[in-house]
Amino acid sequence: MPRRFQPYTRLAEIWDEIGQDRFSARMVDYTFQILKRKNFQPRSALDLCCGTGTAAIRFARKGWEVYGLDGSADMLRLAAMKIRKERVKVNLIHQRLPEFEIRHTGGLGLKMFDLVTSYYDSLNYLLKEEELSACFRNLNRHLNPDGLFIFDMNTKEALKCLWGDKVYARSYDNVAWIWQSLFYERASQADLRAVCFVRKGKLWERFEEVHTEKAYSLSVLKRLLHSAGFRVEHLYDCFRFVKPKRGAYRIAVVARKVRNIA
């Protein structure tokens, strides 16, 4: 039997090799366009669920003070290697959503940011409404007044139609993978079973991870953000600057902190 791992443990080592970092790079370009349209010039940024550090490195090249937070130690290990290679400064934090807390050196007060981002449907991994609410409220505590929060999420249509009850497969020189997914209508959730094969010399090593995502309606997202002290300024069909139509697969949200919360 293949060994089964927690999400983003063994998958981390092949993440960039199978091209998954390209999504983050595309989201960074999109974020820069959003910031330009809003004439918003951050000096500090927190990238939640930063993965292998692709976005955080791009932010650091701007001269911003950058923190990257992720719950996967394996992802952060690879991010640290990339950061050293790129010779930029990014502060990496190993904590899990929804509960997280970043303090100044010495523990004196919470670290505050002008911009918080979360890419590649990372927030869909929060499977309970109260978890997503807690995440938004923690974000509020770390954002400066009028700070921006930019993130993307999979919609129910994406989990139903793109993940659905489907099987995908792809092979590379040293890696092959099979994605098998199941959608649960009543829960608005989908499970993705990733079976991966990695070349080790003359042999292939097999491992599995199971990833579960939950979709949230736009009305729920708006309500949770409002209660967490945010004003939703834009809801976009991701990578475009138009409102998402019914059936959109991925949305991008631009929210501004308008008040502190208890």
Q: Report whether pLDDT(78) > 90.
A: yes
Mean pLDDT, the chain, integer:
95
pTM attached to this predicted model = 0.95
pLDDT band at residue 4 under the 50/70/90 scheme:
low
Instruction: State residue 23 phi and psi, 5-degree precision.
Output: -65, -45
Return the pLDDT at 19. 85
Domains annotated for the chain, with CATH where assigned, are 18-154+215-257 (3.40.50.150), 158-213 (2.20.25.110)
pLDDT digits (tens, 9 = 90+) for 187-211: 999 999 999 999 988 899 899 999 9
Would you state the pLDDT for residue 3?
58
CA angle 110, 102, 121 (to 5 degrees): 125
CA distance 243 to 223: 18
> Which range has the worst mean pLDDT, 43-47, 50-54, 105-109?
105-109
pLDDT(41) > 90: yes
Alpha helices in 9-104 (DSSP H): 21-37, 54-61, 73-86
